[in-house]
Amino acid sequence: MRKYRALVLLLLVAWDLRAQLPSGTIAPDFTATDITGQTWNLYDLLAEGKVVVLEISATWCSPCWAYHNGHAMHDFYNQHGPNGDNKATVLFIEGDHQTNVNCLYGSAGCNNSTPGNWVAGTPFPIINSHAIADSFQVSYYPSIFVICPNRKAIEVGQWNAGDLWAQAQTCPVAFGSSNAGIFDFSAGTPLREVCGDLEIQPAFTLINLGTQALSQAGITLHWNNTPVQTIEWSGNLGLYGEVPVAFDQYNINTAGTLEARITSVNYAPVDDDPANNVYSKNFTLAEGFNEHKVLLKIRTDQYGAETYWELRDEQGTVLDFGGNQAVGPNGGGKFTGITGGPGAYGNNLILRDTLHLPGPGCYSIHFVDAYGDGMCCTYGNGYYRLYNLDDPLTPMLSGGTFRAYDDRTFHAGIATAAQEPAAAIRDILLYPNPAGEQITTEFVLPQAECFSTTVINIFGQVVLHIPAESFTPGEHQQRLHIGVLPEGLYWMNFRADDWQISRKFVVRR
């Protein structure tokens, strides 16, 4: 989750009717002279096959100053600008029409305000132009756009150099004469785990990246390397021309790899850049929970207000939700106006919730980060984790490193192979339960085992520990003194190298 956006109230009021340039639209061209006297034309840079990153700021914007001095753009430019691999460039735009050029150099002669010298140590061009900011319909600072050689602009957050480059690598770049590519691939589902029958309908954008017109393309859909559908496309696309392509609906019910492959371009079996001819997505089997209550644990990062989540059943009905409702299920990439939303979480907090599932079946949980940089790790070590109630130490599902959305599937109340290791220890009894000063465990081992025993409180903390001990096959009994434990709910966790199992008990006096 990321986060520096500053607007004074008057600017919010004045700009309320303006809309930020939507991501995926054609960037407006501009020609402008930087503060050293060099002239830059956006479309000329793009025609060279370069990706252009615009950092549009205002000198009075303290969050802009903080991001600028974080040197994410400096690092990106040094790695991918003319002194790096020369595949991209950065243009810094001072976009406030009420700010003169002196503000870029510090306070002397500045007609507004500035926290310091923006020019010192900046390796990329700096342009003082409110006209560029206006053409991109900027309504807050900083606004950052990654512009692809096909002239499409994608707004991003205040990302680090690695994330900026990852976005730049999704851009289609022309090469050769005969060249078609698969872009914007969607499997037809945001989920990556399979529970029961998962309905998918893959689709993508076919783009011509060659100087020769694209008139034909054969595309085959594979599931686990087996062809399942083939599309023969024909038409007439010039350079950077594009067309949407969709396969028919397809159902999967096992783990595997979905892959779309371009098999022919202009009736030839290969083209000039086969690297963009294949796109794949891996699916795994959904994890299973052993009862109809699931423990959800969330740690927010430094911007907890950017988090929202929903629990849904197989039909997509929302069963539970939490976090900032101003973000909502479709709020990824919402850069402003979310901090005071209803239900917003605080920063750097650990939160717990018990999810009540109506019965056995498949479920999904969906996380949204408003700013589009996930819950981890640049601005804190945020995460989400789902546990069985009888084992609050070992998460069954976890995440936090994503961008705008993370969508996960699981099932509950269905026996799975993942639960079979519990058979290594049988007939576990804890008594008395509730317990006071001591508790007895009885269990049966079908074979010799070596395992440790720990007691875990409701916060997932180990409060008592018995080191690993070897046991012979047969019946066993252990007594554990628990007089030091406060009253409350606990779990006793038995753990070996290849299995573990937990049981609940209550301390009451």
Q: What is the mean pLDDT of residues 248-254?
A: 91
What pLDDT digit, counting tens, does each position of 332-358 carry?
A: 887 777 888 999 999 999 999 999 998
- The structural domains of the chain, with segments of one domain joined by +, span 9-168, 180-285, 287-412, 421-507
DSSP secondary structure code for residue 268 in this structure: B
Confidence class for position 4, pLDDT limits 50, 70, 90? very low
For the record, the structure tokens of 121 come out as 């140590």
Query: If pLDDT is split at 50, 70 and 90, which confidence band does 5 have?
Result: very low
Regarding the domain with residue range 9-168, which homologous superfamily does it belong to in the CATH classification? Glutaredoxin (3.40.30.10)
Radius of gyration of the CA atoms of the chain, in A: 28
pLDDT > 90? residue 100: yes
| CA dist., res. 228 & res. 256, Å (int) | 13
Tell me what pLDDT residue 37 has: 97
Identify the CATH number of the domain defined by range 287-412. Answer: 2.60.60
Cα 503 to Cα 491: distance, rounded to the nearest angstrom? 5
- Residue 419 tokens read as 């639960």
| Residue pLDDT, tens place only, 415-446 | 433 333 445 676 688 889 899 999 999 888 88
Quick one: pLDDT at residue 187?
95
CA distance 239 to 211: 6
Query: Is omega for the bond preceding 434 within 30 degrees of 0, making it cis?
Result: yes
Between residues 260 and 444, which one has the greater pLDDT? 260
Q: Using alpha carbons, select from 303, 337, 334, 338 the residue that is nearest to residue 324.
A: 338
Facing residues of 470 across strands?
450
pLDDT in tens, 379-394: 899 999 999 988 888 8
Q: What is the mean pLDDT of residues 259-288?
A: 94
| Residue range 209-224: mean pLDDT, rounded | 97
User: DSSP class of residue 6?
Assistant: B
Closest C-alpha among 298, 305, 303 to residue 341: 305
- Where is mean pLDDT largest: 111-115, 294-298, 388-392, 473-477? 294-298
Structure confidence at residue 424 (pLDDT): 65
- At 308 the three-state DSSP class reads strand
H or E stretch covering 232: strand 226-237
Rounded percentage of the chain residues whose pLDDT exceeds 90: 69
Cα angle 433, 460, 347 (rounded to 5 degrees) comes to: 140
**Contact between residue 161 and residue 379 where contact means Cβ atoms under 8 Å apart:** no
Query: What CATH homologous superfamily does 421-507 map to?
Result: Macroglobulin (MG2) domain (2.60.40.1930)
Per-residue pLDDT at 12: 34
The predicted pLDDT at position 267 comes to 96
Residue whose pair of structure tokens reads 């009736």 in the numeric block: 267
Mean pLDDT of 269-289: 93
Domain 180-285 in CATH 2.60.40.10? The answer is yes
Tell me what pLDDT residue 492 has: 86
- Residue 420 is predicted with a pLDDT of 39
Could you tell me which residues come within 8 angstroms of residue 41 by beta carbon, excluding any fewer than 6 positions away? 29, 30, 31
C-alpha atoms less than 13 angstroms from C-alpha of 35 in its C-beta half-sphere = 21
Asked if 240 contacts 207 with a C-beta cutoff of 8 angstroms, the reply is yes
Amino acid at 17: L
The predicted structure's pLDDT at residue 491: 79
Tell me the per-residue pLDDT of 483-498, one tens digit each, with 9 for 90 and over. Answer: 999 988 787 888 887 7
Specify which residues 344 forms β-bridges with. none
Verdict on whether the full-model pTM lies above 0.85: no
Predicted pLDDT at 405 = 96
User: What pLDDT was estimated at residue 494?
Assistant: 84
Domains 180-285 and 421-507 in one fold = yes
Tell me the pLDDT tens digit for each residue of 467-487: 989 999 888 999 999 999 998
Burial class (CB in 10 A: 0-12, 13-18, 19+), 405: middle
Indicate if the pLDDT at residue 32 is higher than 50: yes
CA dist 138 to 32, 141, 280, 336, 401, Å?
Answer: 17, 8, 36, 12, 28
Per-residue burial over 42-71, b = 16 or more CB atoms within 10 Å of its CB, e = otherwise: bbebbeeebbbbbbbbbbbbebbbebbeeb
Q: Is 306 strand, coil or helix?
A: helix
